[in-house]
Amino acid sequence: MNEKLVSNTGCIVGMQVEESFGKYGISCRVGAFCNFDLNQISNQLHQHNCYELCIVTSGSGLFIHRDRKYKLEEGDVFMADPYTVHEVQANRLQNLQLIYFFLEIKGNESLRIKGRQDRILHAFISGHKVLAPAQKHLLSYFVFIESYHVSKKSRSFGIEQALKNLILESLEALSTEGDHLSSPQAVACNTLELSLDFIDNNLNRQIKLEEIAKHACTSCRNLQFLFNKHLGKTVIEYINERKIALAAHYLIRQFSVHDTANLVGIDSPSRFTRLFKKYKTVTPKKYQQIHATNEKGFGRRLNC
């Protein structure tokens, strides 16, 4: 895909697609087109509480999922399972571009499977692989979306239908008979993901537990339970990890220690230094010196 095409298909970024087909249904939020190159070689290890479906639109790279590595090429479709640590890396000799989708599959055990869409989702839930290579025909959907958007000047019914078909065909490509995953269950609740999004969007200031819970429409107690169960840490521990990960990003790009502390919402330089050393084992200044010539990308989620 060329840059012009990506620019025009950017109209789908942030779109929400929902459909019930019978026994199963999907809820999908379109992420964005991501570029990986020498300026951002990786999105670092992270996880989500839903499936993350990705399609490589150009270039080549590497996908790490459950400590296993998969080579990526243009047209490949790959999937990160819920609560599974994963990472995308660019090939140092070639840039990598992909689009990602956050996906939930919902089921109703009281209903029967009906129609091809239902069968595709049932097959995927029953068992799927991480990577489906050489699915370049799926890139044709972006050509259609680009052309449709140019003529209609809106995100209308045709684009929504194209996205549904793209998602279903991608899941069909990933489906496999047998080889069931240990936890292929659909994730129906967005509580944790909403909380993680809120934290990521407010790392520049002090974040209170009560406001996170309010944003995610849950209680503080349940929020702590979800973080402990799925992330193995408290809310405060997660916030501190995210702040330090972001701080490391600023330090690598030669922001001063004082400015970096302010940018991550920590107004006490001594507290910032203590916290940074706790997670990175060295002081902010020392970290900046070590990584001055070793620039790395910054990921949306960081679990290590």
pLDDT score, position 257: 92
Q: Determine, yes or no, domain membership for 297.
A: no
Of the candidates 107, 142, 134, 101, the residue with the CA atom closest to the CA atom of residue 122: 107
Reported as a single tens digit per residue, the pLDDT across 206-220 is 999 999 988 887 889
Q: Determine, yes or no, domain membership for 265.
A: yes
66: its two tokens: 């459950």
pLDDT score, position 5: 45
Phi, psi angle pair for 70, to nearest 5°: -125, 130
Q: Are residues 90 and 195 in the same domain?
A: no
Q: Are residues 109 and 220 in the same domain?
A: no
Q: Determine, yes or no, domain membership for 182.
A: no
pLDDT score, position 9: 66
Q: Cα separation of 234 and 219, whole Å?
A: 14
Tell me what percent of the chain is helix, strand and coil, each rounded to the nearest 5.
40, 20, 35
Percent of the chain whose predicted confidence (pLDDT) is above 90: 39
What DSSP element (H or E) covers 104?
A: strand 96-107
Among 127, 148, 174, give the residue marking a domain's end. 174
* This model's pTM is above 0.85: no
Q: Are residues 124 and 74 in the same domain?
A: yes
Q: Are residues 59 and 205 in the same domain?
A: no
Residues 7-14: what's their mean pLDDT?
71
Residues 168-185: what's their mean pLDDT?
64
Burial of 140 (0-12, 13-18, 19+ CB in 10 A): exposed
Instruction: Give the model's confidence band at 190: pLDDT under 50 very low, under 70 low, under 90 confident, else very high.
Output: low
pLDDT score, position 111: 79
Residues 209/223, Cβ–Cβ less than 8 Å: yes
- The CATH number that applies at residue 149 is 2.60.120.10
Q: Are residues 130 and 195 in the same domain?
A: no
Q: Are residues 44 and 166 in the same domain?
A: yes
The one-letter code for the residue type at 10 is G
Among 118, 148, 174, give the residue marking a domain's end. 174
Q: Determine, yes or no, domain membership for 299.
A: no
152: its two tokens: 């209609």
Please provide the average confidence, as pLDDT, over all residues in the chain: 83
Q: Are residues 230 and 139 in the same domain?
A: no
Q: Determine, yes or no, domain membership for 185.
A: no
pLDDT score, position 154: 59
Residues 6+ apart with CB under 8 A from 258: 269
- The CATH number that applies at residue 273 is 1.10.10.60
Q: Are residues 22 and 135 in the same domain?
A: yes
Among 127, 143, 174, give the residue marking a domain's end. 174
E strands present in the chain = 16-20, 24-36, 51-65, 68-73, 77-80, 86-90, 96-107, 131-132
pLDDT score, position 155: 56
What is the four-CA torsion angle of 226, 230, 234, 236, rounded to 10 degrees? -90
Q: Are residues 71 and 18 in the same domain?
A: yes
Q: Cα separation of 295 and 126, whole Å?
A: 41
Over 90: is that where the pLDDT of 276 sits? yes
Highest mean pLDDT among 31-35, 58-62, 92-96, 248-252: 58-62
Q: Are residues 94 and 232 in the same domain?
A: no
Q: How many domains does the chain have?
A: 2
pLDDT score, position 182: 35
Reported as a single tens digit per residue, the pLDDT across 45-56 is 888 888 999 999
Domain extent for 22:
3-174
Q: Cα separation of 74 and 12, whole Å?
A: 20
Q: Determine, yes or no, domain membership for 230.
A: yes
Q: Determine, yes or no, domain membership for 169.
A: yes
Q: Determine, yes or no, domain membership for 14.
A: yes
Reported as a single tens digit per residue, the pLDDT across 219-268 is 899 899 888 888 889 999 999 998 998 888 888 878 899 999 999 999 89
Q: Are residues 24 and 145 in the same domain?
A: yes
Q: Cα separation of 58 and 5, whole Å?
A: 12
Q: Are residues 62 and 154 in the same domain?
A: yes
Q: Cα separation of 178 and 187, whole Å?
A: 21
